[in-house]
Amino acid sequence: MFRTASLSLLVAALATPILAQKSLQGFSTAGERTESNHLVITMENGKFAGIAGAAFLSYVPAKWSPALNDEAKIDQLTKGHLFRLGMNNWATLDNYAPISFGNVTVPAGIWYLGIARDTEGSKWTLVFVDPAKAKAAGATPPMADSAPRTHEVPLTIEKVKETCEKMAVTLTKDEKDPVKGTLSIAFGNLKTSIAYELKIAPVAEAAGKK
């Protein structure tokens, strides 16, 4: 009887599903954080008088993989998705003044930057994500389809012959207008650029100037 009972217990134990074991692991990674900035300063009598507005862009450059030369691979990775700009964490834009891209104006603040592509593959957008809302939604890079999209700016993607092995994202001030500039993204054989303007009130001229 003891043997029969023991055998029954063994059969029951083997028939019981094994629960998945969960654990936490920590990782450390090194990243080359890169910045591109656009500052607008106020001058008075030829001397620095203060910062009128600024935009600080920060990201970790991704490295191009030869496997990405396959257009089908790019389509598989990007169609219908929102993904981070760069490596590791999100790229961020910290703008001290509202910044407009065409008819889209992004208020002053700190924003996550992502790239989105529609399911057909014909439309690309630069996406501005509120960091607090992204965390609340549980949206983590690299793919972050669940991140709430606060602002979207249409992008025109071009293919080029020369390969940009290391992602380059830059804010470049216009030579003639201190509040205008161009945001450019180059990665692999793809590039895009879009004009922007920091919405800063013009400096009033001296009352007694003739």
Give the integer Cα–Cα distance in Å for 106 and 127. 11
Number of H helices, E strands in the chain: 3, 11
pLDDT in tens, 80-105: 999 999 998 999 999 999 999 999 99
* pLDDT tens digit sequence for 59-74: 999 999 888 888 888 8
Higher pLDDT, 6 or 164: 164
What mean pLDDT do residues 33-59 have? 94
pLDDT digits (tens, 9 = 90+) for 99-150: 999 999 999 999 999 999 999 999 999 999 999 999 999 998 888 899 999 9
Q: What is the mean pLDDT of the chain?
A: 88
Integer Cα distance of 97 and 108 in angstroms:
5
